[in-house]
Amino acid sequence: MTREGAADAAARVQHLTGPRGTFDVLPESAEAWRRSGAWQALEAAGREILHLHGYREIRTPIFEHTELFQRGIGEATDVVQKEMYTFQDRGERWLTLRPEGTAPVVRAYLEHHLHAWPQPVKLYYLGPMFRYERPQAGRYRQLHQLGAELLGSADPAADAEMVLIPLQICRRAGLDRVRVRLNSLGCTACRPVFREALREALADLVDALCEACRERYRRNPLRVLDCKEPGCRRHFHRLPAPSDYWCDACREHLAATRAYLDELQAPYELDARLVRGLDYYTRTVFELVAEGLGAQDAVGGGGRYDGLVEQLGGPPTPAVGFALGMDRILMAADRLGSAPEIRPAPEVYVAHVGPEARREAVLLALRLRAGGVAAELDYLGRGLARQLKDAHRRGARYAAVLGEEELRAGTVRVRDMVTGQEELVPRDGVAAWFGGRLGARGGAGA
């Protein structure tokens, strides 16, 4: 390659950036929500809380047949209309990067006959979702959700659980002031009546609404209530709400759900005009809102979807679920300075003096690691003083120094990095010495 060619290639490489609406998570970053340790801490807290409630993890593919989302989420939703990453593979199958987790979980539930398992089946998932939205702070094209589904029960206790679990997860991230907006959309008996009343009321109003709302009115009038435009919202007080049409069973279901939430003093309020972006919800719907996040303040949401399993070809199966936006939780926690974080640090930094000790240092580090002790060492040919500085910077608990003298005597000089105390330990016993102090898993065989 000519010099100019190489320079051109370098310039091209420089210009490569991640796709719009995506971001990298790094071990270190000024913003906590872009640090991998914060993600790990949130995931660990989420898993722990979900395990306590009896949920087990399900991992579904990142892509699915497009038809699953068309049938599952609803043709008239924004997600299916304009936000899906859909493509044809080389075998000419239409595939879509998953925009949400519920439809894939229901697909797996049916495909693997989980309806034959003891009910209810409690599952959770965690991972990236893809939506072609207009990116802004808190809105990404690759977003990350932690969600759970409880399939096979119509008990209001399940609805209450689904509100309480995400609240607990948010609290573990330091979001103490998350509030829940709660509503019921009614069931197959009362919802169509409400829908019709809404359509009628909207008929007089539709010309005053935004273009998107006029389209929603045509396709699915319920979605109009989800519009965030102030120009549209100021008319909404004239529209009927689902609560005007709830049947007795829906009324009782909501009351029973609320009774559990009241007992546990969950911070919720009823919001008569809350609807959600996906079509499959019936009865309970809710949203978790974090203060101080600006326009994108919803950190999670969910609800009951009693018709979805049947809609996707299964037996009638009541179900309820939630999804938390992990990106937004960490952003909110970052603003509060409360983002939890896991920062792995070496337990032992193996330092050496001189080329002969180098080989022993490498072997000692490898043996310590094989024995379950987190060990680090220098890879840049630094002198002892700079190695010890590096050990400090990385937060090592101990330094194990191998110099000429130690090499000759078959020892290692172990320095406690907190107290500065030093001790000479025989080299063949050093792994056991650390194992005893650090609670290592298994012997190092050194």
Q: Which residues in this chain contact ligand AMP in the complex, by CB under 6 A?
A: 100, 131, 133, 138-140, 143, 145, 277, 298-301, 323, 325, 327-328
Nearer to ligand AMP, 133 or 215 (CB): 133
Name the minimum Å distance from CB 174 to ligand AMP. 16
Name the minimum Å distance from CB 49 to ligand AMP. 17
Nearer to ligand AMP, 175 or 407 (CB): 175
Helices and strands per DSSP (H, E), number in the chain: 16, 16
Residues in the chain: 446
Nearer to ligand AMP, 134 or 237 (CB): 134
Name the minimum Å distance from CB 281 to ligand AMP. 9
Q: What are the start-end ranges of the H helices in 3-147?
A: 3-15, 36-52, 66-73, 78, 102-111
- The residue written with tokens 């990116």 in the block is 135
Name the minimum Å distance from CB 276 to ligand AMP. 6
Nearer to ligand AMP, 145 or 183 (CB): 145
Name the minimum Å distance from CB 185 to ligand AMP. 14
- Alpha-carbon dihedral of residues 83, 88, 93, 94, nearest 10 degrees? 10
Show Cβ contacts of residue 338 under 8 Å, excluding neighbours closer than 6 positions. Answer: 173, 174, 175
Nearer to ligand AMP, 46 or 301 (CB): 301
Show Cβ contacts of residue 268 under 8 Å, excluding neighbours closer than 6 positions. Answer: 163, 179, 180, 181, 182, 258, 261, 286
Whole-angstrom Cα distance, residue 190 to residue 247? 6
The token pair that represents 358 in the structure block: 């180098």
Nearer to ligand AMP, 133 or 244 (CB): 133
Name the minimum Å distance from CB 404 to ligand AMP. 57
Name the minimum Å distance from CB 396 to ligand AMP. 37
Q: What are the start-end ranges of the H helices in 120-272?
A: 156-172, 191-205, 211-219, 230-233, 248-263
Name the minimum Å distance from CB 166 to ligand AMP. 9
In 3D space, the residue among 295, 435, 413 whose CA is nearest the CA of residue 352 turns out to be 413
Find the largest Cα–Cα distance for the chain: 94
Nearer to ligand AMP, 306 or 327 (CB): 327
Nearer to ligand AMP, 143 or 375 (CB): 143
Name the minimum Å distance from CB 219 to ligand AMP. 18
Nearest-CB residue to ligand AMP?
325
- The one-character DSSP state at 379 is S
Name the minimum Å distance from CB 321 to ligand AMP. 10
In 3D space, the residue among 175, 135, 147 whose CA is nearest the CA of residue 23 turns out to be 135
Nearer to ligand AMP, 139 or 214 (CB): 139
Residue 274 amino acid letter: L
Describe the crossing of helices 355-370 and 430-438 by its angle, rounded to 10 degrees: 40
Whole-angstrom Cα distance, residue 163 to residue 289? 12
Nearer to ligand AMP, 244 or 297 (CB): 297
- The one-character DSSP state at 81 is I
DSSP 211-247: HHHHHHHHH-GGGGGG---HHHHTTGGGS--GGGT--
Whole-angstrom Cα distance, residue 215 to residue 223? 10
Nearer to ligand AMP, 122 or 276 (CB): 276
Describe the crossing of helices 326-336 and 36-52 by its angle, rounded to 10 degrees: 110
Do 236 and 273 contact (CB within 8 A), yes or no? yes
Nearer to ligand AMP, 166 or 314 (CB): 166
Whole-angstrom Cα distance, residue 329 to residue 33? 9
